[in-house]
Chains A and B, each alone.
Chain A
Amino acid sequence: DAKTTQPNSMESNEEEPVHLPCNHSTISGTDYIHWYRQLPSQGPEYVIHGLTSNVNNRMASLAIAEDRKSSTLILHRATLRDAAVYYCILRPSGSQGNLIFGKGTKLSVKP
């Protein structure tokens, strides 16, 4: 399975934008880029996913590099509730299998 690399931790100030990077240099042409997050004492929560084009939803934006070897999850205005571990995961198109979680990035948000 293709692997992703993320920083172990990041800090942000409340109400400021946050850019969470992910490297996936071995991504294949059919791999979708998924982002999940896990708040303390909770199960993971889907955030966003994309293939080639940038994606926006009510939670976040996903910026995908032109060569698809990296992507960035953008939280436009961090809140204290956004403090969580963020996971960047590759999933082949049409895959019925499981998601492979790495260590993710632990985001701390300061008031």
Chain B
Amino acid sequence: NAGVMQNPRHLVRRRGQEARLRCSPMKGHSHVYWYRQLPEEGLKFMVYLQKENIIDESGMPKERFSAEFPKEGPSILRIQQVVRGDSAAYFCASSPRNEKLFFGSGTQLSVL
């Protein structure tokens, strides 16, 4: 059973471009969480999704950021018109129910 897969591992974008981060949860997991970690800081919750539904997006910036978890395919975190302050490590986690979270290795986003 493969773990949580995130791709790409590293993503470089210029200011104003769009960034798309993908997360494939573990098999059988229907809960997906996205976190952001700025350099030398802790993980900050962004959004929690179940299949086709956003359950909690209280940590997501109101503009430029969106997330989805379609019935088929990976969860996508989309950042439009990226700025330098978006540079961070973005981690995805999945869980089967109200249990422990399994994290991916993250996507390191660098905005030039």
Residues of A within 8 A of B (CB): 34, 36, 38, 41-46, 49, 87, 94-104
Contact = CB atoms under 8 A, between A and B. Distances in A.
Given A95-B98, A96-B55, A101-B43, A44 B103 contact: yes
Interface of B: 4, 31, 33, 35, 42-45, 48, 55-56, 59, 91, 93, 98, 100-106
B106 A97 contact: no
Given A43-B106, A46-B102, A96-B31, A103 B42 contact: yes
Q: Dominant SS at the A interface?
A: loop
A96 B43 contact: no
Contacts of A34: 100
B35 to A, nearest CB: 8
